[in-house]
Amino acid sequence: MTDTKKLLKVRKTIKSKKPEFLQQDYHKKRRLSRRWKRPLGIQSKMRHQKKGYARRVKQGWRSPVEIRGYHGKGFKQVIVFNTVDLAKVQKDEGIVIASTVGTRKRLEILAKAQEQKITILNIKPEQVTAKITAAKEAKQTEKKTKEEKKKKNIEESVKKAEKKEKDKAKAQETSAAETTEPADEEEKRKLEKKEKDDILIHKQ
């Protein structure tokens, strides 16, 4: 472990000094991408490694062979997709939970890894569990609010329907009263006319 620690320190120093390797004339032309592409021009100053020009890719910037693929904590990285993969993990290895793993499986892997005392390199278990619980609570509250809104809407619609029915009934009653009133008035007028006629006949 001491050797790996030393080598990790060496790698850190190398990577701190390592420049970003960019394509020639990347800063001059928009069409050029940021990725590395070795210079091919006959008179290219970058190809000839002249002073003041961007550096070329060389193997001297690589990390030591013994710790290639190691994590900064000093463990070999093993990608895990389910709980079965945890059985293959050795002592000098740390697990990296794949990004495609869902929340249910992720929680299972975290629980089992903590039981077996396996180091998790890409996730802090406490933060993940807290995040998942918070998301669940938020989902439940959202569900409750939706249900309450639904209930309110149903109650309002029922009230509106009842009001409409009441208004209809009232309108029918008023229309019926209006139709009956003129009929009664006509009968009254006829009776009055008859009475007047009788009086006139008697007078003669």
Task: List all residues 6 or more positions away from 37 whose beta carbon is below 8 Å from its beta carbon.
Answer: 23, 24
Residues 108-136 have a mean pLDDT of: 88
Which pLDDT band holds residue 203 (cuts at 50, 70, 90)? Answer: low
Per-residue pLDDT tens for 140-198? Answer: 999 999 999 999 898 888 888 888 888 888 888 777 666 555 556 777 788 888 777 77
Contact 77, 84 (CB under 8 A): no
Pick from 93, 95, 91: which is nearest to 110 by CA?
95
- The answer, yes or no, to whether residue 50 has pLDDT greater than 60, is yes
Query: What type of residue is 58?
Result: K
Average pLDDT, the chain: 86
49 Rama sector, left if φ>0, alpha if ψ -120 to 50, beta otherwise: left
d(CA 147, CA 144): 5
